[in-house]
Copies of this chain bind each other. A is one copy, B any other.
Amino acid sequence: MPTLDLTLSAADLTRAICDIPSVSDDERVLADAIDEAVRALAHLEVHRDGDTIVARTQLGRAQRVVIAGHIDTVPVNGNVPTRDVEIDGEPFIWGRGTVDMKGGTAVQLRLAAELADPVVDITWIWYDHEEVEASKSGLTRLAATRPDLFAGDLAILGEPSNGEVEGGCNGTLRVVARTRGRRSHSARAWMGENAIHAAAPILARLAAYEPREIVVDGLAYREGLNAVRISGGVAGNVIPDLCEVEVNFRFAPSRSGEQAVAHVREVLEGFDVEVTDLAEGARPGLDAPIAQDFVRAVGATPRPKYGWTDVARFSALGVPAVNYGPGDPSLAHHDEERVSVAQIEDVERGLRAWLTAG
């Protein structure tokens, strides 16, 4: 079993944990290594649930912060082990997971070991199965069995945000809009009814849709309503009796999931619409004094997070939550995934400054 030295620099720790592959469903080896390393730390109380590890200080501080990172990655594609590369003279660590999000998780592991006496109590959570369906997520499991472990005044998720603070997140909703027709041989099309033709107004409405930008707690969230998939057809000589358009609505956190569904149903009025997936957004929560302290301490300008992240889970439990981690999110899942070493160090400095500020 590999062992982790948590006194390494965050950059070296990034290399170390990226070189232990941990594609979703296969996090055990890395989870065991983290578990063993943090159990050696006297200032942390450790709880394990599957491949999720929770490590808490119990210093009786007035406030508690939850700092979380997932340990799984999307599948490896020839990009493990990591390599050091230089781009425009700047050092990067290249490889699967460097951006999403072992760079952020490495910073957390390093600080978990170092900060025996932070100014706030800290609950560190390193969890499994973030990159797959929500039902498998370590956070889903933990929220069901130990919701008390989520308690805190602020949650910080180490998802890549280019070292900036990204508040909240948009919600995401998927529906399938269906049109139905009647099959016939295409040589006698008048005996059938073409379901693909019937989908013309769905595409026309989506093409004409003007997404809004909505300001929530001072951050401007851009929405988007898009067909992400379309399918229909039986054979090259058959009038199709079914066409399905999968539509993804990314909605500002000021809308509830229910309101988002109502909006999509309104846009697609007259069509059969089935909701297949819904995740509420999260308000940025930057109006909380502790969040403002955090933003000030790390010296960042808050931005909105467009992608859905697990901040929404904390938000749903009433804990304001932000994203703060190294790495360019547009490189997440990319075969050329790579994280700037300087960003890793910046985020490490930022978190340390805030967690030790007297």
Q: Which residues of A305-325 are within 8 A (CB) of B?
A: 306-308
| Chain A 125-136 near chain B by CB (<8 Å), digits 1 or 0 | 000000000000
Give the CA-CA distance A196 to B187 in the complex, in Å: 27
Chain B residues positioned under 8 Å from A196 (CB to CB):
203, 206, 226-230, 245
Contact in complex: A243, B226 (CB < 8 Å)? no
Q: Which residues of A176-229 are within 8 A (CB) of B?
A: 185-190, 194, 196-200, 203-204, 206-207, 211, 222, 224, 226-229
Chain B residues positioned under 8 Å from A235 (CB to CB):
228
Give the CA-CA distance A189 to B206 in the complex, in Å: 13
Contact in complex: A230, B232 (CB < 8 Å)? yes
A231 within 8 A of B: yes
Interface size class of A (residues with CB under 8 A): 35 or more
| Chain A 232-276 near chain B by CB (<8 Å), digits 1 or 0 | 111111111001011010100000000000000000000000000
Chain B residues positioned under 8 Å from A224 (CB to CB):
186-190
Contact in complex: B200, A204 (CB < 8 Å)? yes
Chain B residues positioned under 8 Å from A231 (CB to CB):
230-233
Also in contact, A203 and B207, with CB within 8 A (given A186-B248, A246-B233, A306-B188): no
Q: Tell me how many chains of this kind the complex includes.
A: 2
A170 within 8 A of B: yes
A108 within 8 A of B: no
Chain B residues positioned under 8 Å from A232 (CB to CB):
227, 229-231
Contact in complex: A240, B227 (CB < 8 Å)? yes
Q: Pick the contact of A233: B197, B230, B308 (CB < 8 A).
A: B230
Chain B residues positioned under 8 Å from A277 (CB to CB):
236
A172 within 8 A of B: yes
A174 within 8 A of B: yes
Chain B residues positioned under 8 Å from A185 (CB to CB):
307, 330
Also in contact, A174 and B229, with CB within 8 A (given A189-B211, A203-B197): no
Chain B residues positioned under 8 Å from A172 (CB to CB):
186-187, 237
Nearest Cβ in chain B — how far from A234, in angstroms?
8
Give the CA-CA distance A238 to B277 in the complex, in Å: 15
Also in contact, A198 and B207, with CB within 8 A (given A226-B239, A230-B231, A231-B231): yes
Write 29 A-B pairs (CB below 8 A) sorted by A numbering. A172-B186, A186-B224, A186-B250, A187-B224, A188-B222, A188-B224, A189-B224, A189-B250, A194-B227, A196-B229, A197-B227, A198-B207, A200-B206, A200-B207, A203-B203, A204-B204, A227-B233, A227-B240, A228-B233, A228-B234, A228-B237, A228-B240, A229-B234, A230-B231, A230-B243, A231-B232, A231-B233, A233-B246, A236-B248
